[in-house]
Amino acid sequence: MADGFWAKLKAGLSRTAEAMANLLARPMDQQSIEQLRELFIAGDFGVSTANEAVAAAQKVWQSDSTMRKAGPAEAAAAVIESHLQICEPWQPQEKSKPLVLMLLGVNGAGKTTTAAKLVARWQKSHQRCLLGACDTFRAAAGEQLATWADRLGVEIVQGAAGADPAAVAFDSVKAGIARQSDFVILDTAGRLHTKAHLLDELRKVVRVVNKAMPGAPHEKWLVVDGSLGANSLEQAKVFHEAVGLTGLIVTKLDGTAKGGALVAIVRELGVPVRFIGIGEKMEDLQPFDKKAYARSVLGLEV
């Protein structure tokens, strides 16, 4: 794993991490305990996780005088990691060729950039990828993906502006089968989770993709902006109810003090985090590593 990546994540979360590390390095008293709890809550980890992490840190502080330097922080990190157990490293199902993956989420979450980053990543291991430009809502959206496809030298299926996204998805999957692609990545239009007809459209894409290839889409990943905090939990709930998510990609964890919402989403929905994004460059997307994340949050060495 790229060391630089975790250093960047840590830097992104540094406002919280530094404050936590400072608090945990001092003798714990009622005031610092409350401050610690507030930091977890401000970071959108959710009240239960905040309480459990603080209690674990406090217990170590009270019981073990020999390892006080990192002990309480280690204990809090272990609590966070324990709530992310379902986030095992993702392995594609061998059986499905192509593996059809749908990216969805609200406007500007990072879907299109993530589609490109996934292609860049899988090309490195010589996997054949095909992009489906199912965001036909804005003409510029198709162009944005086409620019990436060009840069990455990867095939793309596009529809005319205003075309039915489900039809483009269908054609993409058929093209992926014909060309023996390993991955078909469907980029969809950003949509408000509060608009019922937009969620219906998404359901239709899922149904039609399943007609193009029974069992597809194999993955429905919600791309969430990690800096949105508690808002992203609400979004995730609605998308999960609409299509049944199989994973999360949390972007923009660089430069946010609110990196805790992913823990709240995983706890509440039972959907694993698959990748995280910490910048706009291709290598700024990495598989989610629960231990490294939990330790970064507390400012501990990864």
Ligand X SMILES: Nc1nc2c(ncn2[C@@H]2O[C@H](COP(=O)(O)OP(=O)(O)OP(=O)(O)O)[C@@H](O)[C@H]2O)c(=O)[nH]1
Contact residues toward Mg ion (CB under 5 A) are 111-112
Minimum separation from the CB atom of position 263 to ligand X (A): 18
Residue 254 found at the interface with ligand X (CB under 6 A)? yes
Contact residue for ligand X among 176, 190, 272, 299 (CB under 6 A): 190
Indicate whether 110 belongs to the interface with ligand X (CB under 6 A): yes
Is residue 101 part of the contact set for ligand X (CB under 6 A)?
A: no
- Using DSSP's 3-state secondary structure scheme, residue 131 falls into strand
Helix (H) or strand (E) holding 157: strand 155-158
Of residues 83 and 111, the one with the C-beta less far from ligand X: 111
Residues 214, 212: Cα–Cα separation, whole Å: 7
Task: Look at residue 98 and give the partner it binds from Mg ion, ligand X, none, a contact being a CB closer than 5 to 8 Å depending on partner kind.
Answer: none
CB closer to Mg ion, 54 vs 103: 103
* Binding-site member from 60, 141, 169, 208 for ligand X (CB under 6 A): 141
Residue 104's φ and ψ, nearest 5 degrees, are -135, 165
Interface pick for ligand X out of 4, 62, 88, 108 (rule CB under 6 A) = 108
Distance CA(241)–CA(238), nearest Å, equals 5
Residue 162 interacts, among ligand X, Mg ion, none and using kind-specific CB cut-offs from 5 to 8 Å, with none
Phi, psi of 217 (to 5 degrees): -70, 135
Residues 6 or more apart from 152 whose CB is under 8 A from it?
116, 119, 120, 123
User: Per rule CB under 6 A, is residue 280 in the interface with ligand X?
Assistant: yes
d(CA 270, CA 235): 15
Which position among 58, 113, 181, 256 is part of the footprint of ligand X (CB under 6 A)? Answer: 113
Q: Which is nearer to ligand X, 8 or 218 (CB)?
A: 8
Residue 77 CA: distances (Å) to CA of 20, 204, 225, 273: 11, 41, 22, 17
Among 50, 109, 184, 242, binds ligand X (CB under 6 A): 109
Out of 111, 220, 258, 274, point to the residue binding ligand X (CB under 6 A). Answer: 111
Select the residue interacting with ligand X from 112, 158, 172, 181 (CB under 6 A): 112
Distance CA 296, CA 81 (A): 11
Q: Which of 44, 135, 201, 219 binds ligand X (CB under 6 A)?
A: 135
Stretch that binds ligand X, among 24-32, 199-207, 213-221, 271-279 (CB under 6 A): 271-279
133 lies in the site for ligand X, by CB under 6 A: no
CB atoms within 10 A of CB 66: 6
Nearest residue relative to ligand X (C-beta): 190
Q: For strand 129-133 and strand 99-104, is the pairing parallel, antiparallel, or unpaired?
A: unpaired
Residue 228 Cβ vs Mg ion, minimum distance, rounded to whole Å: 16
Question: What is the residue type of 33?
Answer: I
Answer whether the bond into residue 98 is a cis peptide, omega within 30°: yes
89 alpha-carbon distance from chain centroid? 13
The least CB distance from residue 147 to ligand X, in Å, is 11
**Surface-to-core class of residue 90, CB atoms within 10 Å of its CB (0-12 exposed, 13-18 middle, 19+ buried):** middle
Q: Which residues bind ligand X (CB under 6 A)?
A: 105, 107-113, 135, 141, 190, 223, 251-252, 254, 277-280, 284
